[in-house]
Every structure is written in structure tokens, then in C-alpha cells.
């Protein structure tokens, strides 16, 4: 690569700006404008790419709406009731609260679509519950909450899958369906690790909830449990698009929290709007930056160049998927997941199509990789979040995360080598891929 070429200079500038602390979205916009200047192209193209990309993709609107739905759940008592329901189901087993942590992530996954929302929404509550009276060490509770949170964006709805659909034109509905079995497989791998560790470290058994109380607990949690049914039922019956379903999810969470549970104040409502706006803005700037930078990548013909290089290597579809897995896992150690999804993944999509790899299968594998990246040191964003919540040193949380990380990589290998684990459910609903 010629280091004096406009594209090389652009990469150097983007990297330097990011290391200096500028948000990666802003860095990509600045670097891309510099490229247009150096290449003698119209710098107004940057604004054109952002406007066309942001306003012509209706699906982007679902991102802030899913974030808002998660915030409305957190300010109400929906999460508390779900936690009580999960404890009634699995709290009676050895290591019961650890299993509760994973089960609540499975249920919460059908509502928020965000790993960070899951960790932030229930992380503090699970940390307090698990460490009370010395039941579990603070580092183990934090590690488990971090790894269980990655289930959220794999089981639908999923903000990363929405973004993948944006760059690949794959069906969001079938991507959502494709994530169900992989998400449950991830949860199963975590529960196996918990079960083994519980016997070895003699984790406590929680006081069983009497069976006569289970109907009342279920009834109190029923409106919360119905949220995934309303959301996904609307999508797969064709009544709603994913974007409309995200709006319905936000409205449903607000109505249940305010009208039924009566647990929301005006201050809570305002704070949830403010938090959602800030989070949505940060993601929106990243999407805007990726739209401009992807134009630069297209002008430089990078995807076709990568396709030609990989073709020369004569990789099989399986070999290509292994290569992508390794690269994404390594990148996840140092880069934020959304940046990987919007910048790196588009380069691989033409090659995946040329090799006959199904884009729904490829998308789910990519999202699982990116979610694992959230718990891989040194960058792992969820590890930092839980270190902040728990007050534990990061090295202890990383230590307790490693067995789960190994189990999740094994689950990722199963998804990679057995496409039917992803595609079976979409095909049951008519997917022809």
C-alpha cells in the first residue's frame, strides 16, 4: 500500500483522531472529507451520503425506538417482576441466582435488543442480589452479568442485526428468527459452566418459592412476559414492520409501566427520554461516519480487492468463515462492536455472496462474534461497565469471564460449521435462502 496515497492518509488520520479521543464516528467523517479533498472529489459528497443514507433507510428508526423501549422498562417495575418470575423458576437449584441471571437475560433479550441496555438495566440489581450475605464473589457476579448480557442482541429483537440488515440488504425478520436458536445455545453453554462451577465451588441453593405462589408471580409478570409476544408476533404475522414493532414495543413498555404498574414519575420519564436521546445520537453519528467512509471504500474498490485476494487463496466457504471468525474475534479485543459491524463487515459481504454463503447465516455469525467481542479484554465494553457497577478490579472480572468465553467460542464454532442451527427456524417460516 502506498503510504502517500489519499486512502492511506485517510486511514492514518482516522486512526490518529480516534487515539486522540475523538469519537470514531466523527473521526470517520473528518478522515473521509480529507480523502475527498485529496482525491479532488466534491467534498459535498460527504453530506450527500449521510443524508441519503440516514433518510432513505426507514429501518434505522428502529434503533432509537428499541433503546427507548429498554429505558421505559428500566424506569418501571417490569424488570423487577421479571426477576421475581425467573427466581421462582430456577432459583431452587444449586447456583440458582446465577441461573436466574442467565434466564432473565433470555427474557430481557426479547425486549431491548441491546447488550449494554441489559447490563445497565439489570446489572446493578443482579450484582446486589448475588453478592448479598457473601453468596457469590463480586467478581463472579459481575463476570456472569457481563457474559449473560451478550444474549440480548442475539435473540430478537437485535439492534446489531438491524445494522447488519442496513449494510447487507438481508431480511430483518429472517435475521431475527435466525438468532433464536444461537441465542439459546449461548445461554445453554453459560448454564453448563454455571452448573459445573456451582458444584465445584459449592454455590448456595436459594430458598424455593412455594409452588402455590407461582401462579400469582406469573400473573404479576405476565404483562412483561407478553412484550416479546406482541413484538415478534406483530413482525412475523406481517401486521408490523420491524420499525413499527420497535415503536409498539416502546409504547407498550410505557403503557404497562405507567398505566398498569404505576411506577413512573415525570422525572423518570424525562430522564429515560434524555438517556435514549444521548445513546441514539452516539449510534447515529457512528452510522453517519460509516456511510461516508463506506463511500470512500467503494470509490477505492476495496471490497472487490479483498474479494480478489481471497479468491486467489481459493478458500472454501468454511475456510472463509473461519478466517472471518478469527479476524472479528481479534478485532473485538481492540475495537467497538458497532464500528466493526459498520466498517469491517461490509468488506466481507461480496466475498461471502460469491462463495454462496447465506447472508442470514453470515449475519448471525457476525453478530455473535461482535457480542463475544464485548467481553474480550482489553477493550470489552461490558467488562468495563460491570467493573464500574461492582467496584471490582477488572483483572478479577476477566479471570471469572474466561470459562464462559471458552464455552461461547465453542458455541460459535457450532453455529459456523452447522448453518442449519441458524437457518432451520427461518426456513420453517418460508425463508428460501
Which parts of 147-250 are beta strand (E)?
A: none
Residues 6+ apart with CB under 8 A from 236: 173, 177, 429
Cβ atoms 132, 138 nearer than 8 A: no
pLDDT in tens, 343-401: 788 888 888 888 889 999 999 999 999 889 888 876 677 787 778 777 788 888 889 99
pLDDT in tens, 20-61: 878 777 888 898 899 888 888 888 888 887 777 777 666 677
Provide the terminal-to-terminal Cα distance of the chain, rounded to the nearest Å: 37
* 3-state secondary structure (DSSP) of residue 37: helix
Least trusted range by pLDDT, from 37-41, 142-146, 291-295, 320-324: 291-295
Considering only residues 427 and 127, tell me which one the structure prediction assigns the higher pLDDT: 427
Q: Which triple of cell numbers denotes residue 192?
A: 453448563
> How would DSSP label each residue in 405-432?
HHHHHHHHHHHHH-THHHHHHHHHTT--
Q: Tell me how long the chain is.
A: 433
Nearest to 148 by CA among 193, 181, 178, 93: 193
In the chain, pLDDT over 90 holds for what percent of residues? 14
Amino acid at each position: 500500500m502506498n503510504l502517500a496515497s489519499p486512502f492511506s492518509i485517510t486511514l492514518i488520520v482516522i486512526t490518529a483522531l480516534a487515539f486522540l479521543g475523538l469519537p470514531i464516528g466523527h473521526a470517520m467523517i473528518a478522515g473521509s472529507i480529507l480523502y475527498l479533498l485529496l482525491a479532488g472529489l466534491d467534498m459535498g459528497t460527504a453530506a450527500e451520503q449521510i443524508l441519503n443514507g440516514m433518510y432513505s433507510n426507514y429501518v434505522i428508526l428502529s434503533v432509537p425506538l428499541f433503546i427507548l423501549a429498554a429505558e421505559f422498562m428500566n424506569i418501571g417495575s417490569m424488570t423487577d417482576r421479571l426477576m421475581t418470575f425467573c427466581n421462582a423458576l430456577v432459583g431452587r437449584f444449586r447456583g440458582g441466582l446465577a441461573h436466574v441471571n442467565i434466564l432473565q437475560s433470555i427474557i430481557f433479550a426479547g425486549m431491548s435488543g441491546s447488550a449494554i441496555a441489559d447490563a445497565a438495566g439489570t446489572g446493578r440489581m443482579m450484582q446486589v442480589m448475588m453478592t448479598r450475605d457473601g453468596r457469590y464473589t463480586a467478581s463472579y457476579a459481575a463476570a456472569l452479568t457481563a457474559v449473560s448480557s451478550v444474549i440480548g442482541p442475539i435473540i430478537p429483537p437485535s439492534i446489531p442485526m438491524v445494522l447488519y440488515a442496513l449494510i447487507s440488504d438481508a431480511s430483518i425478520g429472517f435475521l431475527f428468527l435466525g438468532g433464536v436458536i444461537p441465542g439459546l445455545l449461548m445461554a445453554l453453554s453459560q448454564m453448563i459452566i454455571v452448573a459445573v462451577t456451582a458444584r465445584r465451588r459449592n454455590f448456595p441453593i436459594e430458598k424455593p418459592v412455594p409452588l402455590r405462589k407461582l401462579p400469582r408471580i406469573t400473573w404479576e409478570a405476565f404483562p412483561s412476559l407478553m412484550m416479546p409476544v406482541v413484538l415478534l408476533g406483530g413482525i412475523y404475522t406481517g401486521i408490523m414492520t420491524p420499525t413499527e414493532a420497535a415503536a409498539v414495543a416502546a409504547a407498550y413498555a410505557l403503557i404497562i409501566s405507567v398505566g398498569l404498574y404505576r411506577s413512573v414519575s415525570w422525572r423518570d420519564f424525562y430522564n429515560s427520554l434524555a438517556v435514549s436521546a444521548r445513546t441514539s445520537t452516539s449510534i447515529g453519528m457512528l452510522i453517519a461516519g460509516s456511510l461516508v467512509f463506506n463511500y470512500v471504500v467503494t470509490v477505492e474498490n476495496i471490497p472487490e480487492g479483498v474479494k480478489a485476494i481471497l479468491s486467489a487463496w481459493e478458500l472454501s466457504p468454511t475456510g472463509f468463515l473461519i478466517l472471518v471468525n478469527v479476524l472479528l474475534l481479534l478485532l473485538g479485543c481492540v475495537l467497538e462492536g458497532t464500528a466493526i459491524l459498520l466498517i469491517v463487515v461490509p468488506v466481507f459481504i461480496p466475498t461471502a455472496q460469491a462463495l454462496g454463503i447465506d447472508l442470514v447465516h453470515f449475519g448471525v455469525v457476525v453478530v455473535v462474534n461482535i457480542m463475544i467481542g464485548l467481553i474480550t479484554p482489553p477493550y470489552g465494553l461490558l467488562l468495563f461497565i460491570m467493573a464500574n457497577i461492582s467496584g471490582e478490579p477488572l483483572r478479577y472480572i476477566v479471570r471469572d469471564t474466561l470459562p464462559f468465553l471458552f464455552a461461547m467460542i465453542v458455541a460459535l464454532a457450532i453455529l459456523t460449521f452447522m448453518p442449519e442451527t441458524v437457518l432451520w427456524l427461518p426456513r420453517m417460516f418460508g425463508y428460501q435462502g
